[in-house]
Amino acid sequence: MRLRLALALIALASPVSAQTPAARLSGRVPAAAMPAIDSIIATAVVESLPTEPLVQKALEGSAKNVPPDRLVSGVRGTLVQLRAARMIVAQAMPGQPIQEGHVAAVAAALARGLPAPIVERLLTVAPHEPPGPALHAAADMIAHHFDPDSAVDLLVEAHSKGLRGMRLLDVAVAADHELQRGGGRTPSEALAHVRAMLPNVPATESGPTGAAVTRHGTKGS
């Protein structure tokens, strides 16, 4: 009964698009920061940039009690990243309509430190697919010290052999796994091993959904 009530109430929840950014920020963002954030969001609307990352950044900073000047600066930084992302998407897919989802995913990849040429190359390979998983897979591999170009070569090859979406993340996991194996492998050896398995890289084992998320052993107080 309790669950039925809970789910029923959830079903009443309105979708994101039904709320304006101002309504979502109202009462949560400090008054001192509100005019500047409103203005940044208005700019994003004019420039056809997604506003959700800006709203999220404002809510995040407010929740963390970041001082208003740094809060505004953080939201502005997100706007700058979105602009850069839009430019990259436009360059990678000339003549095609720019999708907000692509721009947001590319901005997130840039925030993780993925170099623009790598992003552009991955977008070009699969222009009609959501780019998030491939970009994260590349960012994961670079974070694990794989050569960026070699990492992208592997992802491109995986894509050409039929791996799509979240399965590309399995390629990054497999590469890390090969690197950590006993006996010692260099990054290039690890990539070669994964290349030889394609497209049959193992599905990520941990996590209840086969890789949703599993967290262990976070530091304590």
Partner 1 sequence: MVNDGTPDVEVVARVLGGDGEAFGILIRRYEPGLLRFATRMLGNPDAAADAVAESLVRAYRHLAQCRDPARLRSWLYRITGNRCRSHLARRHTTDIPLSEAPATALADGTDAWAALERREQVALVERALVALPAEKREAFVLKHVEGMSYEEMAAVTGARIPTLKMRVHRAREALLEALEEAYDESN
Partner 2 sequence: MSPIDPRLQEALDGERDPGTLPADLRDAYERLTGAARLLAGTPRLSVAARVMAEIRQTTRSEPAENTLRRALRWLGRPRAVTVRLRPVWTLALAAGLTAILLLPFQVGSLPTPGEAEGVAQFVGHFPGARSVEVVGSFNDWSRGMLHLNDDDGDGIWHGAAVLPAGQHEYMFVVDGERWVPDPLAGRYVDDGFGAGHQNSLLIVRPTATER
By the criterion CB under 8 A, which residues form the site for partner 1?
A: 64, 143-145, 179-186, 216-221
Applying the rule CB under 8 A, the residues between 62 and 91 that interact with partner 2 are 62-64, 66, 70-71, 73-74, 77-78
- Of 59 and 98, nearer to partner 1 (C-beta) is 59
Verify binding: residue 51, partner 2, rule CB under 8 A.
Answer: no
Strands in 26-142 per DSSP E? none
Residue 133: what residue type?
P
CA 68 to the chain's CA centroid: 26
Size of the site for partner 2 (CB under 8 A): 62
Contacts of 179 (CB under 8 A, 6+ apart): 144, 146, 185, 187, 190
Verify binding: residue 22, partner 2, rule CB under 8 A.
Answer: no
Q: Are 38 and 4 within 8 A, CB to CB?
A: no
Least distance between partner 1 and beta carbon 219 (Å):
4
* Binding range to partner 2, per CB under 8 A, among 41-49, 91-99, 163-171, 179-187: 163-171
Among 206, 208, 142, 205, CA closest to 175: 142
Q: Are 119 and 106 within 8 A, CB to CB?
A: yes
Gap between the Cα atoms of 126 and 118, Å rounded: 13
Gap between the Cα atoms of 134 and 160, Å rounded: 13
Q: Which does 196 bind (CB under 5 to 8 A by kind): partner 1, partner 2, none?
A: none
Q: Could you give the string, one character per residue 103-142, with x where binding to partner 2 holds by CB under 8 A and - elsewhere? A: --x--x--xx-------------------xx--x--xx--
Gap between the Cα atoms of 22 and 38, Å rounded: 7
- CA distances 167 to 52, 55, 162, 163, 193, Å, are 26, 30, 9, 6, 17
Least distance between partner 2 and beta carbon 148 (Å):
17
Verify binding: residue 17, partner 2, rule CB under 8 A.
Answer: no
| Tokens read off for 111 | 């925030």
- Of 163 and 169, nearer to partner 1 (C-beta) is 169
Least distance between partner 2 and beta carbon 94 (Å):
26
Chain contacts with partner 2 (rule: CB under 8 A) = 2-3, 5-7, 9-10, 12-16, 18-19, 23-24, 56-57, 59-64, 66, 70-71, 73-74, 77-78, 105, 108, 111-112, 132-133, 136, 139-140, 143, 164-167, 169, 203, 207-221
